[in-house]
Amino acid sequence: MGNMTRDSSRPATTRPLRRDAELNRQRIMIAARELFSERGFETTLDDVAHRAGLGVGTVYRRFPNKEHLIEAMFAERLDELAELATQAAHAPDPWAGFLDFLWRAAELITADRGLHDVMTSTVFGHDQVARAKDRLIPIARDLVRRAKDTGKLRADFAAEDFALLFKMIGAVSAYTHTDAPDLWRRYLGLLVDSLRAEPGPPSPLPVPAMDAETLQNAMARCHR
């Protein structure tokens, strides 16, 4: 938690907050993390205030608008992802590293709809987020290159495919997380099977398919 890099969300040029204000700021961040992870960008600052047990004005005093709050929350989460990718790229077995990254990143993204949203969309003015992405991209390319060099990753895989893979898994997760929170693993399992360069029998899927009734529920809950 108390890391050594500068806290870029509150530059050192700013006077420290009054103690009660600092406490409330933390409450806001906690509430925001919870809500954004559940509902993504649809979350409202009014929601955040309510969940934090504070007035809306308090939230707007601290963060001029939603964009700033998102910046503060997600730049660091993207760095988490970059850290993951770095570790994976240096794994002794690059193919295992590649798979590891895929599963772990999917884990983060399905657990946090907000993270999915920042990863797959570009919002004008998210400087820190944009820079975090720029850091992530070359690492991902390196990861792909190494995995291909082992001959285990299909040759036509591109680093850009990560984005769409995550989009697909995010879609499954958004659709089914209420009724079958683990179902995304089934489909990532399928996708991973299709990425292997070397022929082999289908690997067992970690989760069974939805039954008909649960699927009905998911469809009923989905209003688009």
Partner DNA sequence: CACGAAGCGGAGGAGGCATCTCGGGTTAGA
Partner DNA sequence: TCTAACCCGAGATGCCTCCTCCGCTTCGTG
Convert residues 93-132 into a mask of x (bound to its own copies by CB under 8 A) and - (unbound): ------------------------x--xxxx---------
CB of 79 to DNA, least distance (A): 25
Of the candidates 69, 19, 30, the one whose C-alpha atom is nearest the C-alpha of residue 53 is: 30
If the CB atoms of residues 60 and 103 are measured against DNA, the closer one turns out to be 60
Give the number of other Cβ atoms within 10 Å of residue 147's Cβ: 27
Per the CB < 8 A criterion, the answer to whether 55 and 46 are in contact is no
If the CB atoms of residues 44 and 203 are measured against DNA, the closer one turns out to be 44
Give the number of other Cβ atoms within 10 Å of residue 49's Cβ: 20
Determine, following the binding rule CB under 8 A, whether residue 41 of this chain makes contact with its own copies: yes
**What amino acid is encoded at 197 in this protein?**
A
Interacting residue with its own copies among 17, 21, 23, 164 (CB under 8 A): 164
| Residue located via tokens 């469809």 | 219
d(CA 19, CA 175): 41
φ/ψ of 91, rounded to 5, equals: -65, 145
> From its own copies, DNA, none, which one binds at residue 195 (CB under 5 to 8 Å depending on kind)?
its own copies
Binding site for its own copies (CB under 8 A): 40-42, 117, 120-123, 137, 154, 156-158, 160-161, 163-164, 167-172, 175-176, 183, 186-187, 190-202, 204-205, 208-212, 215-216, 219-220, 222-224
